[in-house]
Amino acid sequence: MKNSNVEEGLRVNRRRFTLAALAGSAAFASSLMGETSSAHASPKPVSSVLDWNLDSKTIIDLSHVQEHEMPVDPALTLPTMSFFAHIGQGEGAYWNLENITYTPHTGTHMDAPFHVNSGWGSIETLNPALLFGPATVLSITVPKGMYAISLADIKAWEEKNGQIPLGDAVLVHTGHDRYWPDKKTYIDDGYPIFSKDAAEYIASRKARYVGMETISPDGPNTDAHQIFMGNNVLVVENLANIGEIGKKRCLTIGTFPNIKGATGVYVRLLAVVDK
Ligand SMILES: [Zn+2]
């Protein structure tokens, strides 16, 4: 794997994020970049910079609620929340305060490359804008149980819908999210994963990230994780509602906390769809 390329490619440029490369949409990105590159330009209202009329858009939440009871791999710890202060209980108790613990690979989350290779980047090295930009919605019909989505499955979709645009995120819709939160049907009875050639093809389209409705793109190994993240394709797992997008392409918006050294992080991902 190209460790140094991964490190370079994923490293955050703190002065200016490369939205043009990320977002794929040159006009969209250049309007943003233009704002930041001209120190003397008077600020435009956000609506004109983005040319968005949100009344004409539907916003779809692609994230599950993160809570204590979720279907997770038995090796993982479920999140906990414990309150150590309650308003009105004790002197000077003006606040409700809790501690939250969680393994990032539960719930709707993104993996860092460090999750599958100790030499690769952890969460804080990732571009915070990578979830922001165009996405292709790849709808694949899969049999129930463990099934590796193949290159032929993707090519069959492309035959009908056109090639996945370079630089798009890829949201893979199989309908598997309908089994959430039942662990037996969501995990134990099997779920769609990715064959190596399917993962390699998505990586060859320079996808910013691949989003799926399952706990993992892999079964008992890390092959697809390695292919994706070895090629700068981030992995977002346990997504919901991709089927409600109802279009072949949309915009996604999301970002994530900047947690130093973490192997993953909860994300809140939204799809923005023309009505
Ligand atoms: Zn994960």
Give the per-residue pLDDT at 275: 86
Count Cβ atoms within 10 A of the Cβ of residue 123 and give its class: 0-12 exposed, 13-18 middle, 19 or more buried: buried
CA of 194 to the centre of ligand 1 (A): 15
Q: What whole-number distance in Å separates Cα of residue 181 and Cα of residue 97? A: 28
Give the per-residue pLDDT at 5: 40
Q: What is the pLDDT of residues 134-153, one digit of tens each?
A: 999 999 999 999 999 999 99
Does 217 map to a domain? yes
CA of 108 to the centre of ligand 1 (A): 9
CA of 111 to the centre of ligand 1 (A): 5
Structural domain of residue 70, as residue ranges? 3-75+104-274
Does 93 map to a domain? no
CA of 127 to the centre of ligand 1 (A): 18
CA of 46 to the centre of ligand 1 (A): 34
CA of 2 to the centre of ligand 1 (A): 21
Task: Name which of 133, 171, 170, 137 is nearest 23 in CA terms.
Answer: 133
Does 86 map to a domain? no
Residue 204: DSSP 8-state: H
Q: Kindly report the pTM of this predicted structure.
A: 0.83
CA of 219 to the centre of ligand 1 (A): 12
Q: What is the CATH number of the domain that holds 258?
A: 3.50.30.50
CA of 36 to the centre of ligand 1 (A): 34
Q: What whole-number distance in Å separates Cα of residue 229 and Cα of residue 264? A: 12
Give the per-residue pLDDT at 49: 55
Q: pLDDT below 70 — which residues of the chain?
A: 1-52
Does 82 map to a domain? no
Does 80 map to a domain? no
CA of 202 to the centre of ligand 1 (A): 18
CA of 241 to the centre of ligand 1 (A): 19
Does 158 map to a domain? yes
| Omega within 30 of 0 (cis) for the link into 134 | no
Q: What whole-number distance in Å separates Cα of residue 3 and Cα of residue 10? A: 11
Does 134 map to a domain? yes
Domain count for the chain: 1
Does 83 map to a domain? no
